[in-house]
Structure 1
């Protein structure tokens, strides 16, 4: 039976490490329904497929159900006419790393302004691992919640196997009121336990927690969790969007997959959520120097290591295997690989090293952990190029290295996930907040953690202050005030790009007393495919001052092939709102492929405001294959014709077809050796099941120079 192509859906990478389920084990999928009420669909399932279990229902923020059963039964339910989409259940994790024992004061003091507002009367829901509501700093503000792991009214942190502390830490940043003061110490705190032992949970639990929180009337929800699905259409992202439509401000951690771009994961991909990246506050940076060389190598301490406090010069040695001779009293260099960081560190310490420096196998920064080892020597890392330089200039030339320190400006944490968002090609994160060395409440005391999980609740606390000050503000008003007032972070006088910092670092006082609102907060032009491109966008400016102000707009710095037409100046009376147009025009012949980003500047009233913008020209470095099409060519006898574009030559390519939702393998479509760079086309003869109709994932696997890459493309057959 030939395939009939009803529609082709093309997207970029959704996940990595793809694997199919065991056909003999139960699994859960999420079904998004069309216009059918959930109760009607449940009755239909009970009568036709009684062996399936509806484990969760979503009617407030998502019209759908979570269904548990054997893959063969789930195949049947996914074909029902009431089903609009189906999704595999993703695993969500907390976004933090443990640091050393804390000492107060706290980083919450950095963003809590001198203001009469304290979040009083504002309801904040913490969707996380639960909260230790018996903690003396939290028990006064805790008001209740729900446990979506054990399905009861007791959302306490996991206390036995797989014990957690993450939700309590997040709650303290928002609203602790004791020895520690949160950003909004008088909020009403609610806990929704969606992540169980070990800080792990599923999209079923996360969506159910969002629904519970919205139905309980939360003003603000904090989601310090995420997955690796960089796309705007995942069900958790849709659930967040629906919660915002219903009037709840949703704060989401960007993720800890930086410093690579394209690493924002759902639900931080939500367009209207406030996605928060992590900043590092001004600090001292340790650097290695060699006498007579005009270069300094930054020292990146591994998590769990003692600080790098070497006060004199030391010789270097490269240590391999079980080497014993000549290690004592030296800084050891070891290459990454073979054994774990902890094993390398233990080995170097036992042989008498003063410190260990691990050399990465790429030129990217290395961020690792030796948590729990408690060694008395510091352990750090350098890139491959930096390590080779130390070996050449230090070891080979018998030069000793010295440690110096320098003041490091306020910047973005290396681990903080970067944008943009795939498919929508939009700017994320939206804003930055402190995420490094953040001390907060944990069961039994206090602990320093770091991650975007710690940055997000800072913004949730600030949002609570705004909601108390302006009860009539909508979620979009709160987001607009935060982004319009943010402070742009710079490095050596150059602003960090929007895909790292969004609108900039939170300025709480300016957000509470705004002077100018700009809507939208970021300009997302999308993907540019035409050779000549023009687009006009509208910006709304609202003067929040009580005086008339004149504003001047400045375009970004000139770039080849890009031109801007913007109003040079405009005036706003007190409280006046005005819509203005600006236009961008491009000629791709003069432009590089990839992401183009920057800021449009507005000056007025003695202040500067910055509007992030982003567009993508053709492709970027995140994908090696694009434009996969599977279609029926009526001029041939083939079951399917394929077409795709490769950005570089590939050693081997295969395409496997999996049912969406259940991910059952339906067969291999294609197996090619040495496909060429550029457009590849051909025909496919199928040898699969008779009933082909339905949604699939076509998983393209590429082998290039011994490395494997997977790219799933949703297709509708």
Structure 2
């Protein structure tokens, strides 16, 4: 495996925290751990001038950035600049204290600020059992097998960027030289890329492996595993065959071997992929609960505008309710991908005395042969404290699970001369596991079997193991249904997200050779590269297709699936969870019709019927007539905890049939009458175009909000009675239920704990005199002004904000602030709801703190 080095940056985390129960003697009514709050000191600064990708010159962008630096210095705003961006985003990432942050919005040229999110390495279930047939199952679910075998499409000539943990360039499935070889980068298959961080990089300050020092280099080799698995789904060509097995890869490594990265590193990688001329970018990473205005989503949108197809996982926060989709998948032009479970899982088979036995391969096992036979001998537990029951020299050793680790058992058998090791369960079922590290030279296979099969082998007088190239396929009960982890939309601006889905649950693909070579993982991380591979096949078949049109064509031919929690009802699953449905690659390639727009966001139902003009483009040499109809999908109520309802939405058309001339287009108006329930719910469905003669059916998904979107409460108390005025000490926030005095030294400043049950468009904190409840200045009385705040991920999560005792004293002049004198004050917190009208008082929520005594 190619050697690697070390690297990282610092961290900010806006993925929701769960509150921890705590009780301790205190004069305060309640206390909560400081580290249970969401927040940080890393921020993006977006400047008002457009970036280069939007048509600005590089000189103008750099001049605007120099002007900002100069103004910030004059205003005595203290921060450490981490990164600057010019192409896809005009601005910076900085490290800045909460007290200094309030001054940023007052500097001339600043458009907005956003937290630099900590991006956790995607959390997936790893199972090193399974076989390449698992990927073959997935290809059959989407028609990728048809595109490859009947149409001869393999993604040739298409460059696909993988922003992830890197790619194992030694892996034979990517044309590498194998575990004992060393493949030079760039290689024929992995021809582009860069490592932005290094092996040791980990941006998570709560981790024991925290290392905020990035050490970039030119070799994006993978030691984490996730990126190799993702790349295999796109285009492995060996034991595993991906969706588009002839694509050329770019590997843009943003994770170390363990832990997390940050959103500013993602933008840096996007700019590099753009410079390298990649056709498609897959990002199986993201920040849940975000807005489409978040910088990673903005940068991704600009890539699409410049001609690159961008595909991103929508997130694995299905358990966290609605509006949990993540950026960059929320980007307006990005293809945000949901996950369906694989139709079946396949387990490889060996034989013992003629009996088929399913096995799983341990992580760090040597390669498992596909033919050959050998005698077996039982050696017992094979722990260091045990004598082996028999010598396994030259034979397959059979050990029983228990007492010591799998690696210890395998090492003892291998050191005694075993040519292979089989560990059987101490219970009836099958299992999988890890050896912890490569044993010896890594050439000896180590596999597991069930306890039932182990008992059979023990009962044989002379057991002989025969390796086979066969496997057994087991259908999954949830196959073809939305995965339980897949995130819900809509976007907080009520855009329809996710856009489309693909198999992502139980997917067997490539893995770094030193970690076993192959693994079965599950997540939207696995569904996103399937769609990226589909886009590669589509671009190979239709090279004139624009980056924006790729999503529309894929959506038109997608196949919506029934409700995952009760498929027998026949009700279609939520549009705001599956988008257009399962990607159907061969139908998209064969399509002679496409319909724009490819999806419809109807917005707030209180506005009444929504009229959308649809344009049907016929690229065939004959006219086609379509019958128009609509079908509803399941509705949901709530936010963090969804409830499920049928929908009474309806659709009428300006004409119930539409004839489209050959090589021409025609339009039809669809009037969507919104659902009337549930309260504060989401509804959706599909407009269906069915040809009168034989031919393909096309669909356009629609989704919207029931009633008044501002009916959702943002600042909810939860069981902790938020918002709080709080004191911080000893690592805990204490609730000042009545009043509190602060010295304004160190952490002894006012803190405010807020739970956001839903996204907020804007928040401001106003400083009032406690006695008169009047602002401390007629104009300049604000602190902590923020845009586009995400919701918490749990019903008890919270954010913390501090106040340094100063007020902003400018209208965008020079970031000027003034200290308020000692005395008694209250803070008025005002939150503008998502899509709210700032001139409508009903769209604001307001809370006034207990009395704050500043006693410096």
Report the TM-score when normalising by structure 1: 0.68
Output one character per residue of 1:578-609: Cα deviation in whole Å (capped at 9) or x when no partner.
Answer: 22212134585x87541121222221144333
Q: Which runs of 5+ in 1 are unaligned?
A: 1-13, 286-303, 305-351, 357-368, 379-403, 629-645, 659-663, 673-682
- Report what 2:250 is aligned to: 190
Deviation at residue 143 of structure 1 after TM alignment: 0.5
**What is the CA–CA distance in structure 2 between the aligned matches of 1:121 and 1:155, rounded to whole Å?**
23
Q: 1:39 aligns with which of 38, 51, 62?
A: 62
- Where in structure 2 are the equivalents of 1:149-160 lying within 5 Å? 149=197, 150=214, 152-157=216-221, 159=223
Counterpart position of 1:126: 162
In structure 2, C-alpha distance between the alignment counterparts of 1:685 and 1:669, rounded to whole Å: 15
Query: Would the alpha carbon gap of residues 711 and 452 (structure 1) be closer, same or farther in structure 2, given more than 3 Å must change?
Result: same
Out of 81, 84, 98, the position equivalent to 1:57 is: 84
Judge conservation of contact 1:527–1:618 (CA < 8 Å) in 2.
yes
Q: Is 2:584 the partner of 1:584?
A: no
How many Å separate the matches in 2 of 1:700 and 1:217?
34
Deviation at 1:555, TM superposition (A): 3.2
Match of 2:655 in 1: 567
Correspondence for 2:272: 212
Structure 1 residue 522, shift from structure 2 partner: 1.7
Q: CA deviation at 1:156?
A: 2.8
**Preserved CA contact (<8 Å) 2:345 2:506:** no
Quote how far apart the aligned CAs of 1:545 are. Answer: 3.0
The alignment status of 1:88 with 2:106, answered yes or no, reads: no
Q: Distance in 1 between matches of 2:165 and 2:754?
A: 44
2:682 counterpart (588, 595, 615)? 595
Q: State the alpha-carbon separation in 1 of the partners of residues 91 and 165 from structure 2.
A: 24
Structure-2 change in CA distance of 1:574 and 1:272 (3 Å)? same
- Cα deviations by residue, 1:426-482 (Å, 9 ceiling, x for unpaired): 322211111122122221111111111111111111111111222221112111111
Shift of 1:74: 5.0
Q: Secondary structure at the match of 1:454?
A: helix
CA distance in 1 between counterparts of 2:609 and 2:506 reads 45
Give the equivalent residue in structure 1 for 2:305: 245
Instruction: Find the residue that maps to 2:322 and give its secondary structure.
Output: coil
Tell me if the contact between 1:555 and 1:566 (Cα under 8 Å) persists in the aligned partners: no
Residue 529 of structure 1 aligns to a residue whose secondary structure is helix
1:618–1:353: structure 2 CA closer, same or farther, 3 Å change rule?
farther
The alignment of Structure 1 onto Structure 2 pairs a total of residues equal to: 561
Q: State the distance in 2 between where 1:689 and 1:267 align.
A: 40
CA–CA distance in 1 between the matches of 2:523 and 2:753? 42
User: Whole-Å Cα distance in 1 between the matches of residues 748 and 661 of structure 2?
Assistant: 64
Task: Specify whether residues 283 and 466 from structure 1 end up closer, same or farther in structure 2 by C-alpha distance, changes over 3 A only.
Answer: closer
Measure, in 2, the Cα distance between the counterparts of 1:562 and 1:606: 26
State the alpha-carbon separation in 2 of the partners of residues 144 and 180 from structure 1.
22
Matches within 5 A, 1:63-462: 63-69=90-96, 74-95=101-122, 96-107=124-135, 109-110=139-140, 111-112=144-145, 113=147, 114=149, 115-138=151-174, 139=176, 140-149=188-197, 150=214, 152-157=216-221, 159=223, 164-259=224-319, 260-283=321-344, 410-422=480-492, 424-444=493-513, 445-462=517-534
CA RMSD of aligned residues (A): 4.5
- Give me the whole-angstrom Cα distance separating, in 2, the residues matched to 1:186 and 1:62: 32
Larger Rg: 2
Equivalent of residue 559 in structure 2, options 480, 487, 493: 487
**Structure 2 contact 651–670 (Cα < 8 Å) conserved:** no
SS at match of 2:528: helix
Counterparts of 1:271 and 1:700, CA distance in 2: 18
Are residues 584 and 656 of structure 1, via their aligned partners in 2, closer, same or farther at CA, if it must alter by over 3 Å? Answer: farther
SS at match of 1:183: coil
Answer yes or no: is the 8 Å Cα contact 1:702–1:710 preserved in 2: no
Question: Counterparts of 1:185 and 1:649 in 2: how far apart (Å)?
Answer: 50
> Does the C-alpha gap of structure 1 residues 75 and 177 become closer, same or farther in structure 2, counting only changes over 3 Å?
same
What residue number does 1:519 align with?
A: 596
The correspondence of residues 616-695 of structure 1 with structure 2, limited to 5 A, is 616-618=705-707, 625-626=713-714, 652-654=721-723, 667=750, 685-686=768-769, 692-693=781-782
What secondary structure does 2:525 align onto?
helix
Counterpart residue number, 1:540: 615
Return the alpha-carbon distance in structure 1 between the equivalents of residues 120 and 791 of structure 2. Answer: 28
- Is 2:619 the partner of 1:549? no
Select 2:574's aligned residue among 497, 503, 506.
497
Q: Distance in 2 between matches of 1:191 and 1:518?
A: 34
The answer to whether the Cα contact below 8 Å between 2:675 and 2:706 also exists between their aligned partners in 1 is: no
2-structure distance, mates of 1:539, 1:98: 44
Q: 1:17 aligns to what?
A: 17
Name the CA distance, whole Å, in 2 between partners of 1:537 and 1:665.
56
Q: Distance in 1 between matches of 2:294 and 2:561?
A: 31
The answer (yes or no) to whether the contact 1:484–1:518 under 8 Å persists in 2 is yes
**Is the 1:670–1:684 contact (alpha carbons within 8 Å) kept by the matching residues of 2?**
no
Deviation, 1:67, is 2.1
Q: CA deviation at 1:136?
A: 2.1
Distance 1:523 1:699 in 2: 23
* Residues 554 and 376 of structure 1: CA distance in aligned 2, closer, same or farther (over 3 Å): same
Report the Cα offset of residue 40 of structure 1. 2.3
**Cα contact 2:168–2:222 (8 A) shared by 1:** no
Counterparts of 1:671 and 1:512 in 2: how far apart (Å)?
Answer: 49
Greater Cα shift, 512-521 or 502-511: 512-521
Unaligned runs of 5+ in 2: 1-13, 19-32, 51-59, 177-187, 198-213, 347-362, 364-424, 437-446, 452-473, 633-645, 728-746, 756-765, 801-829, 833-837, 839-845, 847-856
What is the distance in 1 between the residues matched to 2:237 and 2:504?
A: 20
- Partner SS for 1:212: helix
What's the secondary structure of 1:198's corresponding residue? coil
Asked whether 1:463 is paired with 2:535, we answer yes
Output the CA distance in 2 between the equivalents of 1:619 and 1:216: 46
Shift of 1:104: 2.2
Residue from 458, 471, 477 that aligns with 2:549: 477
Deviation of 1:180 (Å) = 2.6
